[in-house]
Amino acid sequence: MASEGVKLGLIGLGTVGTGVVQLLTQNGDTIARKLGRPLALTRVASRSVHAKPHPPLENAQLSSDPWSVVHDPDIDLVVELIGGIEPARSLTLEALRRGKDVVTANKALLAQHGAEIFAAAEAHGAHIGFEASVAGGIPIIRTLREGLAGDRNRALFGIVNGTCNYILTTMSEHAEEFATVLARAQAQGLAEADPSFDIDGIDAAHKLTLLAMLAFGVRVSFESVYVEGIRHVSQTDILFAREFGYGIKLLAIAKEEDDTLEVRVHPTMIPRSSLLAGVGDAYNAIFVQGEALGSSLYFGRGAGSLPTATAVVADMIDTARQRGTIRGSGVPPLGMPWHELRAIRLRPIDEITSEYYLRFMALDRPGVLARIAGILGDHDISIASVIQRGRSEGDETVPLVLRTHAAKERNLKAALCLVDELPIVQGKSVSIRIEENLG
């Protein structure tokens, strides 16, 4: 039976790879019925393949050398689940050059080397599936590429990093500071030992690069995505946000306006009544605004062995189906050929317009609010509301919290530089962007 099937070569037997083997084992019969032939796991390469007990792989040849998969002429489909840039990039390119299809969960690779990899897939008439690279089990790639293909998207807002969402949800629900929650998440294996990719927003920016290309049919380079992580989010700001009716989420945002695109990842205050604000713990969600459809929301598990494996196996099935058609005639990975993607101007962060939450630690003296408001006014920044607490015994300063109307980021930065130099203000001001229109 295996010889009639599509021959798979799996590279990487970590969390997701193990889930893939489990799903292929459990659902193999159903998959074969859907496809008309089985998916046959023929080769598996993993650094630890000989060192640790592995899931049922009785029909596969095992190796610790990933090149043994790519060099095997019998392998139809290479599944790359090792992550990182090298050797994943070279393995993927070589597999495509040899006319093999590739399924990958590697968002860093596609976000940073997508031009080279998608071009290689096109040149060699090979298919590349990457559903698992963004938001784990949520079929958002296929949704943007196929389900929403007839619409023109205007904006996309994603909670696409489960680690950050878990930390921010826990900080908000248990009134704990960032460092405490992170340390516990690491001890429980919920956050990586080196969490910087997640908490500094880089993982979300990789995912946003891919989402923006798909949603808007444009070329986006990872380097042009503005990135700010969640290390500076404090309990104080979470509590004030709540008073204004907001929660804080790490959002990946892409918006097209006036033939320019904004692509940014940063902590964002959003109305507590919005659907995205209700996305808690490590869940992911992507909210899309289309001209014809209006708003739609896609929610689910963004990581984990079996949830992510569902996306990998769906791509295997899809890719295997496309092998039955004329090579290169299937659905292009980004919904259109690479040369059809528009080269759009990406708006630098200084040029965006947003509403802002601002917090200053100021002396509690007459004229302080007027002084700060004066500097903001001089920069065309209009105040929408203010909260000021009384001073407790021993406090030198009090938090002065403002919400602004829409203002230009460049003006805000200039104003905050001046405010931060005032002797009546202590430390650096805090600013967090607000997004109101989230359904």
Closer CB to ligand HSE, residue 7 or residue 107?
A: 107
Closer CB to ligand HSE, residue 11 or residue 419?
A: 11
Question: How near is the Cβ of 117 to ligand HSE at its closest, in Å?
Answer: 18
Site for ligand HSE in 225-254 (CB under 6 A): none
Distance CA 332, CA 129 (A): 10
Its sign, for the CA torsion 165, 166, 170, 176, is: negative
**Window contacting ligand HSE (CB under 6 A); options: 160-168, 313-321, 343-351, 395-403:** 160-168
Which residue is catalytic, options 7, 100, 107, 207?
207
Cβ atoms of 397 and 364 closer than 8 Å: yes
Closer CB to ligand HSE, residue 276 or residue 425?
A: 276
Site membership for ligand HSE, residue 161 (CB under 6 A)? yes
**Window contacting ligand HSE (CB under 6 A); options: 47-55, 155-163, 227-235, 345-353:** 155-163
Work out which of 66, 137, 158, 162 binds ligand HSE, going by CB under 6 A. 162
Closer CB to ligand HSE, residue 42 or residue 161?
A: 161
Question: How near is the Cβ of 140 to ligand HSE at its closest, in Å?
Answer: 13
Distance CA 415, CA 418 (A): 5
Work out which of 131, 198, 315, 318 binds ligand HSE, going by CB under 6 A. 198
Site for ligand HSE in 278-317 (CB under 6 A): 302-303
Q: How far apart are the first and last CA of the chain?
A: 50
> Quick check: bond before 87 cis, omega within 30?
yes
Closer CB to ligand HSE, residue 80 or residue 198?
A: 198
Question: How near is the Cβ of 379 to ligand HSE at its closest, in Å?
Answer: 37
Question: How near is the Cβ of 420 to ligand HSE at its closest, in Å?
Answer: 33
**Window contacting ligand HSE (CB under 6 A); options: 2-10, 110-118, 156-164, 269-277:** 156-164
Work out which of 163, 310, 354, 429 binds ligand HSE, going by CB under 6 A. 163
Question: How near is the Cβ of 242 to ligand HSE at its closest, in Å?
Answer: 24
Question: How near is the Cβ of 84 to ligand HSE at its closest, in Å?
Answer: 13
Site for ligand HSE in 1-60 (CB under 6 A): none
**Window contacting ligand HSE (CB under 6 A); options: 161-169, 229-237, 352-360, 401-409:** 161-169
Question: How near is the Cβ of 303 to ligand HSE at its closest, in Å?
Answer: 4
Closer CB to ligand HSE, residue 158 or residue 330?
A: 158
Closer CB to ligand HSE, residue 40 or residue 265?
A: 265
Distance CA 73, CA 7 (A): 10
Site for ligand HSE in 114-143 (CB under 6 A): none
Closer CB to ligand HSE, residue 117 or residue 210?
A: 210
Minimal CA–CA distance to 318: which of 16, 75, 77? 77
**Active-site residue, 207 included:** yes
Q: How many residues does the chain have?
A: 439
Question: How near is the Cβ of 38 to ligand HSE at its closest, in Å?
Answer: 29
> How many residues of this chain interact with ligand HSE, rule: CB under 6 A?
7
Residues that bind ligand HSE (CB under 6 A): 161-163, 198, 203, 302-303
Q: Which residues are catalytic?
A: 207
